Amino acid sequence: MSTPENKAAWLTALKAYPLQVGPAPMPTPEAADVVIQVHSAALNPADPAMQQRGVVVKPEGYPYILGIDIAGIITAVGPKNTRFKLGGDRVTALAVPSLLGDAKYGGFQLYAVGDDRMIAKIPDRLSFNEASVLPLGLCTAAYSLFEKAALALDLPEPGGNAPNGKILLVWGGASSVGACAIQAAKAAGYTIAATASAKNFGLLREIGAEYVFDYNNAGIIDEIVATLKGKGELAGIFSAIIQPAPLAQCAAVAGQLEGRKHVGTVRPPGFPALDNWPEGVEISSCESTDIMSSEVGPAIWRKWLPVALEDGSMKCRPHYEVAGKGLEGVQGAVDLMSKGVSGKKLVVEIAH
């Protein structure tokens, strides 16, 4: 049998275009890391943003490998890893080269190194395409919903928590982050209200939203307040949409409902303060990968997620759409992602 070789879609220099497909070192896993043969890689808004704006943590970071969401098969395990076995475990994983400072962790390659903290086994019935849609969306939602510095909601237990009667409003429920937030918060016992375009109401309902609202309606704030008033205490609002206008709408809703007046966001720390933010409404920022080193990471990735995927309560939504095949298809998918998506996740079938 021939020895497998690694290849990557390289970002060769700052803002280089297009990505160049070429050989990459075959990684050896250290400590508790693993090597994952990447079958599917999903796209995030961060991928075109990083290519176009040149966001790499280390100036010496080029050549660099983008790609954050992957699913595949474990092919090698580090000496300190006791969770995974060789050549069989099918997993979904967060690939975080920008955080871990090394291109070997990038997702757009045939064999990527995975950090044990952000990997979960997936059931046989789930395809790699399906499983690749979750990692960053789930990490981001988990930070804002469950970290103490953000909304600090109850964590979901395997099998799901009993309903607690409290309402969480998710703004942007058809986004990847929003769809994960709806499902994780529902599993934690919250009643979910969510916004999206009307064409995505079916998606919102399928993943557990009880109240759905079209954010394109001019009277949306009044509509949400009138619908939710008296239905239960507000546990908070999570906005998966980063722009100031929807965040202001979230604040306006929080100001008029009984309960916790806190808007959890996807704004990274250090973003400038928002103009005219109302007094009495808290707002928190989000550094999704921080859950790797807090209690939230293991509670979600190790304890809850594998069970929720197995029992079907966590669905791989939004649905994937194949936007490319092979490493050669990555640049086209990144370009498509830069145009934006509605209620779907773009995926490249890396091993096809």
Q: Which residues bind ligand NAP (CB under 6 A)?
A: 44-46, 136-137, 140, 171-172, 174-177, 195-197, 200, 215, 240-242, 246, 266, 268, 286-288, 341-343
Tell the smallest beta-carbon distance from residue 164 to ligand NAP (Å).
Answer: 25
CB 184 within 8 A of CB 205: no
CB of 154 to ligand NAP, least distance (A): 22
Q: Which is nearer to ligand NAP, 172 or 208 (CB)?
A: 172
Q: Which residues, other chains included, contact 1 with Cβ-Cβ below 8 Å and sequence gap of 6+?
A: none
Minimum distance between the CB of residue 233 and ligand NAP, rounded to whole angstroms?
Answer: 23
Report the residue number, 133 or 188, with the smaller CB distance to ligand NAP: 133
Q: How far is the CB of 235 from ligand NAP (least distance, A)?
A: 19
Give the closest residue to 119 by CA, choosing from 129, 111, 131.
131
Of 134 and 167, which CB lies nearer to ligand NAP in the complex structure? Answer: 134
Is 72 in a helix, a strand, or coil? strand
Token look-up 């939230």 returns 296
Q: What share of the chain is helix, strand, coil (3-state, %, to 5)?
A: 30, 25, 45
Q: Cβ closer to ligand NAP: 12 or 52?
A: 52
CB of 180 to ligand NAP, least distance (A): 8
Measure the CA dihedral 303/308/311/313, to 10°: 150
Q: Which is nearer to ligand NAP, 12 or 197 (CB)?
A: 197
Which residue lies nearer to ligand NAP by CB, 157 or 335?
Answer: 335
Residue 70 beta carbon to ligand NAP: minimum distance, rounded to whole angstroms: 15
Q: How far apart are CA 198 and CA 290, in angstroms?
A: 33
Distance CA 345, CA 149 (A): 28
